[in-house]
Structure formats: structure tokens, C-alpha cells
Structure 1
């Protein structure tokens, strides 16, 4: 029965070890089968397979009833310890999993946190024991998520750059041009012509939003000067309100800074002309990103909450800021 030293030895299975422990503790095949609720033939077969796996005799079959050999006693002691530690490991991991579900750490861009954050907190208050909402610029949040310091992420990053993660599209919003209330827009003007009348206020390219606007201008109006640059919407729109500049922004950002936004007016990009052609739309899409098998059904619940909140806010944007309804669209529930 002994294997040659050169033979590859596979470890016994947890099931085999459990059956061996039951056999030693009950003293017979029939009693072990009764404890484990399997057939006696099943117990005997597993013991033979275990002996073949280890290459030793575990039972002295010359005695009646058969007694464990020295190797059998040693296996019993170690198997008992292994099974006990495996049980502790299972309980520890399950306990940790429950505590993570009780604590939800979510990252989101500043405009989302300011506008949708209150509805998120109310909606999740009955689903999680503790909620940590972290806001900031997309690249920094992505690093926190990658380092497992966040459980979920509301981001505008393209999902094709997020391998190995689950991703749900939430909603999209188009950019518009914000100008001072008293600003007279020349007919069929270009962004470049507008920037000659008022300086262009830029979002910092450290942010995803700033990078989107910068790439758009490089494609269509690369000669627009980049004199003023801001990380946040409030200071940017405050200067536009004071008739010191113009900006490309979104409905979400306008609602975030509605104190300033209520004293501005807005232009569709397609109302302007570049080389005789209407400007194409520029939009950003928000996604819920999470790791597979971590959030479970909570991911779909969060997505549903966001879509409901956005539809409600959309009505307020139209009424209070006169933002065109078609600049925002809520995505259908689907995974990317």
C-alpha cells in the first residue's frame, strides 16, 4: 500500500478527514455512518481511498473491531485540529463579510455628492448600519477603490478602462455654455469668438470633467486661451456670474452651485457654430462601479435610488434654472 517516494501525493479531502475523525470517535463504521447520515459502504470506501491517498494503513484489521494504527492515531489528532481551525476560519470570514455589509464606503465626485448625496443617505439609512461617503476628484477616488478602501464608486470614468469590475450605467448629462445674465451672444458665434469677448473659465484638467472639456476644446477650438482654471464649481461660476467669464459646465454642477446659477443664462452647444457647423454634443455618463460578489443586490438598489433621485431633480432643474430637459437622460437598468 505504500507509495514510492517519487509518487506525487495529493492531500486528503476535507470530507475524508471528517469521516476518519467520526470513525475514530465512534469506534465503528456503523456508528460513524449513523453520525454522518451516510451509508456504511460510503464510510468504508472513503477510508480505503484515504489510505491509498496517504500510502499507509490507518486501521489494524487483524483485530475485531478494527483499531486505528499509530499512523491512524496521528492522522486523527492532526485532522481534528485542522477541521477545528477550518470551522473557525469559516466563522471569521463570514463575520467579516457581515461587518463589511454593515459598513458601506462609497466614493463619488463632488457634484454628485452635493446634489444626489442627501437622497442617497436617506435611501441607504435603512439598508446599512454605517455609511461613509467620500467625495473628490475621479483619479483620487479610483486609487482608493483599487486599494480596497472603498466598496463602491460613482464615477464618470469610461467602463472599458475598469477591467475586473461590475459597472452599472446610471445617467448622462450634456454640457452647456454658461454665460453672464447680461451677456449678449452674437448670432452663430463660435466658442472661440465668445472667449474673445469674455475669458473662458476652465475646470482643472486634474479632474475627469476638466479633462473632458480640455479634450473637446482641443478638437474643436484649440486656440482658446487657458487663463483661469478651477478645481471646484463654486468659484468658477461666481466669476461667470460677475460677468468676468464664460464656462462649459453641466446641469449637475449648476444645481450644485445654484446660488450663482440662478443669475446666469445657458446656451446649447448646438446653438453655436464652428466653421459653419453646429458643435457636436459633449456629455459625461455616471456609473456605479463595484467589485463582483461584494455588494450583492445592494448594487441594483443603489442604482435605482440614483435614477429616481435624478428624475426628480431633473424636474426641479427645468423649473428653477430653466435648464433644457433634454440635456439629461437616465439610463435603463443594465450592466456594462
Structure 2
């Protein structure tokens, strides 16, 4: 029985699919299947019921899953303890980043990690914040940069930015010239905002639902520049934050939303007991963000 066979077994059990498990492990599906078959021969029992479309654990597979996880965790602890003693960071680091979010300090922290620990293989993936949080919980991602309304349950987190939403309007808009606006006034016309799953959109949707408002979301875009440009062309009120708004002074006027106090959060999230590579990255991230 080999350690990698147990890792393949756990991946298939968690993904309930050989193809997804192979993608997660970054090896061929045939390689995963062959190693699982070898493990089953050594154990003398089938671990998966392959008759149904969704791969399911047999009774033997269910009995083996937690011990397999425990063995893999113990092996990780052994490697981590030795690495800590030697001051060595190696392995891989997969970082998730919310779509449309260009955060220079995050990139600088990745560059610092690469300079200090060139043996770490780094991958950067973009997705919606809710899926990124799920990816961290599932172990697909080591760390994720999330835009959110509430810090994710079950994960360690570090808030980088906490800001209220702002409404951006072009000259000639009914709200132009106002010092502030209510959420109902913002929702009286079309709005342009981030797509569902992003922190700004979550804050906006929750606030509207609490007040019984149904906004007309005319257009969505993942990048702040695109949202601002669409708004400047008269297609709707842009929903962004004050720090995002600064780049569009002159083209758009940013109005505080007077009755919306819940901030949009930008945060790093990771599982408890992170890997040495993740811990090293978080150290660099704290330094780059000045935290």
C-alpha cells in the first residue's frame, strides 16, 4: 500500500468522480483508476461502487476513508515538522483570487514567496468568492482572496479592506449634484454592478432584500473599469466602493449610500493548520498589506 494510492482514494471519495479527482491531482484519469484498482487488490475489497453515474463508496470504502485521511494527515505533519526544523519551504501553493480584482500587494506577496522559496510551485486561479471559499474548505485551494459580506465559516481569515458601497453617477444623472443617496433612490433606475458571487454584489443584494427592494440590474461586469465605463455611458448607476471610485473622478460622481452600513470586505481565507508554503505566503501577504 503506497501513500499516493491513499491520496488518490481520498480524492475520488471526496469528488465522487474519477475525472474530477484526476484534475484535482493533476494526473491522468487512467492513472488514478489503475492505482485505485491496485489498492483494492491489496486490500482484497472494492472501495467504490462504479455501477452508478456518481461514484459511491462501498461499505469497505466507507470504513477505509477516515483512516486513509488520518494517514495522509500524519504524513503531512511529519514533513511539516522536518521542514520547520530545516527552515525549508517546498511543495505547491494554489491561491484563489476573486474575479476582476487586481490587488498589487497580493501579486507582490507571491513574488516575495517565489524569491525566498523558489522550490514552491505556485498556481493562481480566478473564480467567484463563494466558490473560492468552498475550494479552500475542500482543500483544492490553499489560500483565497475573497470579496464578501461576511467572513467565511470554518476558515481562518484576515480582513484586508472593509468599505461601504458607493453609487457612481455621470453628469446629468438625476442623482448628480447630490451629497448622498438612499438605497431606494439608487434602485429607482438601472444599476451596473459586479456579478453574483462577488462581495460587492452580495452586500448590495442583501441590503436590497432587507428593504424589500428589487433593483433593475441592467448590466454586470467583473472589472471595476468596465462597470465605471458602462455607467459613464449612461447605462446605469455604478455600484462600487469609495477606493474604487477615486480612479473615475471627473467622469463619475461617487455618492455615499446613506442607509447602507454593511461594508464590503476583501479578505484572505485559509484552512486551520496551513501548509508551510501557505504559512510563508501569509507572512509575505501581511507584510505587503501592512498588517
TM-score range, shorter chain: 0.5 to 0.7
- Flag the 1:261–1:131 CA change in 2: closer, same or farther, 3 A: farther
Q: Is the 8 A contact 2:146 2:199 kept in 1?
A: no
Name 1:283's counterpart in structure 2: 263
Q: TM-score, normalised by structure 2?
A: 0.57
Out of 166, 169, 190, the residue aligned to residue 159 of structure 2 is: 169
Find the aligned partners of 2:141 and 2:82 in 1 and give their Cα distance.
Answer: 15
2:119 is aligned with 1:127: no
Higher relative CO (Cα under 8 Å, sequence separation at least 6) belongs to: 2
Q: Structure 2 regions of 5+ residues with no counterpart?
A: 1-73
Structure 1 residue 249 displacement after superposition: 0.9
Matched, 1:298 2:286: no
Provide the rounded CA distance (Å) in 1 between the counterparts of 2:271 and 2:75.
21
Contact 1:168/1:303 (CA < 8 Å) preserved in 2? no
Give the secondary-structure state (helix, strand or coil) at the position aligned to 1:226: strand
Does the CA-based 8 Å contact 2:94-2:142 persist in structure 1? yes
After TM superposition, give the deviation of residue 269 of structure 1 in Å. Answer: 1.9
Alignment match, 1:267: 255
Among residues 101, 105, 109, which one is paired with 2:94 in the alignment? 105
Contact 1:288/1:303 (8 A) holds in 2: no
Q: Quick one: distance in 2 between partners of 1:201 and 1:295? A: 40
Where 2:108 maps in the other structure, the secondary structure is: helix
Shift of the alpha carbon at 1:247? 2.0
- What displacement does 1:173 show? 2.0
Q: How far apart are the structure 1 equivalents of 2:113 and 2:242?
A: 24
Evaluate the alpha carbon distance shift between residue 152 and residue 207 of structure 1 in structure 2; reply closer, same or farther with a 3 A threshold: same
Q: Which residue in the other structure is 1:79 paired with?
A: none
Structure 2 partner of 1:190:
182
Q: Does residue 201 in structure 1 map to residue 186 in structure 2?
A: no
8 Å CA contact 1:123–1:305 kept in 2: the answer is no
TM-score normalised by the chain length of structure 1: 0.51
| Structure 1 counterpart of 2:231 | 240
For the pair shown, the structure with the greater C-alpha radius of gyration is 1
Give the direction of change, closer, same or farther, for the CA distance of 1:144–1:100 in structure 2 (3 Å limit). farther
Structure 1 residues 263 and 187, CA, compared in 2 at 3 Å: closer, same or farther?
Answer: closer
| Structure 2 Cα separation of the partners of residues 207 and 90 of structure 1 | 36
Contact 2:136 2:271 in 1 (8 A): no
- 1:304 positional shift: 1.7
1:152 aligns with 2:134: no
Tell me, yes or no, if the aligned pair for 2:187 and 2:213 is still in contact at 8 Å: no
